Amino acid sequence: MIMKDFLQQCPPFDQLKADELDWAISQLQSVYMNEQNANEVLRDCRPALFIVRSGVFDLRSQQGRLLERLEVGDLFGYPSLLSGRPITNHIATQQDGIVYVLSGAAFDRLRKANRDFEQYFIQAHGQRLLAEQNNKESGSDWVNQPIQQILQHAPVSIPSTTTIAAAARLMSEQQVSSLLVVDDHHLVGILTDRDIRNRVVAKGLSYEVAVNVVMTPLPAAVNARRSVLEALTTMTSHNVHHLPVVDDNEQPVGMITATDLMRIQRSEPVYLISALHKAESRQQLIAEAENLPEYLQRFADRVKDTSVVGRLMASVTDTMTRKLIQLYERDYGVAPVAYHWLAFGSQGREDQTLSSDQDNGLLYSSAPTASQEQWFAGLAASVCEGLHDCGIPLCPGNIMASNPEYRGTEQQWLARFRGWTESPTPKALMYCQIFFDSRSIMGSGRHYREYRQKVAALGQQSVFIANLAILVNQISVPLGLFNRLRTRSSEQGELIDIKRYGIAVINDIARLYALEAGLTDAATPQRLNALRGNRLLNRQDNQSLLDVWQFLTQLRLQHQLAVWGTTQAKNAIDPEQLSPMMRRQLKSAFRIIKQAQQGVGLKFGRQGY
């Protein structure tokens, strides 16, 4: 009875049903651990789940580094159970005590029987991988690895007409827990072992029924060229354990699971995104969002490529947006017309910072009636105000879905782009610098891609591009005679706005080349990578622009984290506060930007008005 009382207070055993808990207790072994036998117990019992009943133990790496202090109620050993990798760390006893041991077979049975039990381990906060060599190989930029580099197996797929019995046999033969459902080379669904348990066995459904009856249709998917971070955030925000991977033609190339990703590394920001996704009220969402600066600080210290941090911020904002939409639909019903929630500007480019404001809009699949428009007006106001309460400021220029001007059908949006590109007035050019950088946050991916291709085609007009080139050259880079940095006086001293005169200029240049090439990518690094080998931008200049963009975004991020919570400017720095080497790098960065501006002017500017 003492053991049962303890486990009922010990997550995730407190999530087990009464019969499951009784069975788990029958499988537990009690072991007394001290300094002499601790690692012998660990070696003899593995693979197993260990639960500290009493005592204090330190989990240390092979090199002796303290990974975690284990006290009453703490669990260890489960990363090895989930990943299949051997335990390479060891235990140092600080205080003798009792440890309960649950065998690997019993652990797997409980995972399959109880989803909450399994979910706890997959999304456990403070998860540490017990594979130090893997950490060395992945390095501090593990989150930036392309997904295609971690795919373990070729895709295992079936047509939607396959029977459940045949699908189950294939899963057993291939030793996989999920199948891609593919018709005409396109992903139409996913079938998991959980689907078979819950939707077939539990419901007494015939095994001869086709899988399209029980599969999850149109599942979330991720492009193989995207990063591990993208996969992590997609799986967490959609609360799924299996994620199909597709190529640029939307054809499936593989599958990754939560366990696959746990083999690589843990990510505190993903836990934040998970907490945002699980929020059950607006107030809870706002409370979780307050943790973002702290999470971002820890995350930024571990990565070298700052574009990852921008994507993280965008993922957080995406998650908050989706959750606010879900909360609104819970209270006011589902949308009366299919739609896309669009993100523009920095969220669209996925280079957000802690000071970025909102730029968003709505794309309707068909024109809503007057009463239906009222539903969308309420949605837009609720989401924009909710994002503001979560720390994403309202747009000073009112470029938000709450403004009816930025809600419209595809025909209305295309007419707006056509007007801007055919008559590129200064105001139109300003709008284009915002609206050509867009992503769909909610809605059908295929429909949005078709719409985005039409927008890209409108942006290829030579006169429009020429006027954009002229606008880019009108921005004066803060580099004066004798290669001296030019600052602007303010109440806070002599400063340089590295966003306005640096990062934004590179965004403008990358956008201009992308428009000329007809690309639909929105992120600056993606645009530059897609432009490698472009006839108008040689590889050396391309790489130089990418290097400068990363340097300036890193400098801005470090500055923002240092002054966060103060009244100091978030995008402007005092060059005198930089080291001599950093000042030289800043000068070189502005020199490269100035040369790129001149190149844009020579290639495109002569055809402008």
- Examine the pLDDT at 589 and tell me if it is beyond 60: yes
> Which residues make Cβ contacts (< 8 Å) with residue 74, sequence separation at least 6?
51, 52, 68
Which residue reads 């009943």 in tokens?
53
Instruction: Name which of 324, 345, 339 is nearest 400 in CA terms.
Output: 345
Omega prior to 336 cis, within 30 of 0: no
Sheet strands (E) in 34-109: 48-52, 56-60, 66-70, 75-76, 90-95, 97-103
Quickly count: other Cβ atoms within 10 Å of residue 602's Cβ: 11
* Helix, coil or strand: residue 442: strand
In this prediction, residue 515 has a pLDDT band, given cuts at 50, 70 and 90, of very high
- Examine the pLDDT at 23 and tell me if it is beyond 60: yes
Which residue reads 């999470």 in tokens?
295
C-alpha span between 514 and 578 (Å, rounded): 33
Per-residue pLDDT, averaged over 332-349, amounts to: 95
Report the Cα–Cα distance between both ends of the chain, in Å, rounded. Answer: 85
- Examine the pLDDT at 138 and tell me if it is beyond 70: no
In this prediction, residue 136 has a pLDDT band, given cuts at 50, 70 and 90, of very low
Q: Measure Cα distances from 506 to 135, 432, 502, 546, 552 in Å.
A: 34, 15, 6, 8, 10
The model's pLDDT over 372-418, given as tens digits with 9 standing for 90+, comes to: 999 999 999 999 999 999 999 999 999 999 999 999 999 999 999 99
Tokens of 376: 């969308």
- Examine the pLDDT at 154 and tell me if it is beyond 50: yes
Class of residue 206 by CB neighbours under 10 A (exposed 0-12, middle 13-18, buried 19+): exposed
Lowest mean pLDDT among 4-18, 206-220, 505-519: 4-18
Find the angle CA(324)-CA(440)-CA(140) to the nearest 5 degrees. Answer: 85
CB 41 within 8 A of CB 86: no
CB 556 within 8 A of CB 499: yes
Domains of the chain: 2-135 (2.60.120.10), 153-262 (3.10.580.10), 268-459 (3.30.460), 467-607 (1.20.120)
Tokens of 178: 């999920």
Instruction: Kindly report the pTM of this predicted structure.
Output: 0.63
Taking phi over 0 as left and psi of -120 to 50 as alpha, with beta for the rest, 123 belongs to alpha
CB 467 within 8 A of CB 604: no
What does 243-287 look like in DSSP terms, one character per residue? EEEE-TTS-EEEEEEHHHHHTT---HHHHHHHHHHH--SHHHHHH
DSSP 8-state code for residue 367: P
- Examine the pLDDT at 300 and tell me if it is beyond 80: no
Per-residue pLDDT, averaged over 113-130, amounts to: 63
C-alpha span between 483 and 502 (Å, rounded): 16
Instruction: Name which of 261, 292, 259, 279 is nearest 322 in CA terms.
Output: 279
* Helix, coil or strand: residue 536: coil
C-alpha span between 195 and 219 (Å, rounded): 13
| Radius of gyration of the chain from its Cα atoms, rounded to whole angstroms | 27
- Examine the pLDDT at 80 and tell me if it is beyond 80: no
C-alpha span between 454 and 441 (Å, rounded): 19
In this prediction, residue 84 has a pLDDT band, given cuts at 50, 70 and 90, of low
pLDDT at 142: 57
Strands 90-95 and 75-76: unpaired
C-alpha span between 243 and 229 (Å, rounded): 13
The model's pLDDT over 37-78, given as tens digits with 9 standing for 90+, comes to: 888 888 888 788 999 998 888 888 776 766 777 888 888 887
pLDDT at 133: 34
C-alpha span between 284 and 280 (Å, rounded): 7
- Examine the pLDDT at 134 and tell me if it is beyond 50: no
Class of residue 60 by CB neighbours under 10 A (exposed 0-12, middle 13-18, buried 19+): middle
Tokens of 237: 């925000």
CB 494 within 8 A of CB 574: yes
Share of residues in the chain with pLDDT > 90 (%): 49
pLDDT at 301: 63
- Range among 306-315, 354-363, 557-566 with highest mean pLDDT value: 354-363
Report the mean per-residue pLDDT for the chain: 86
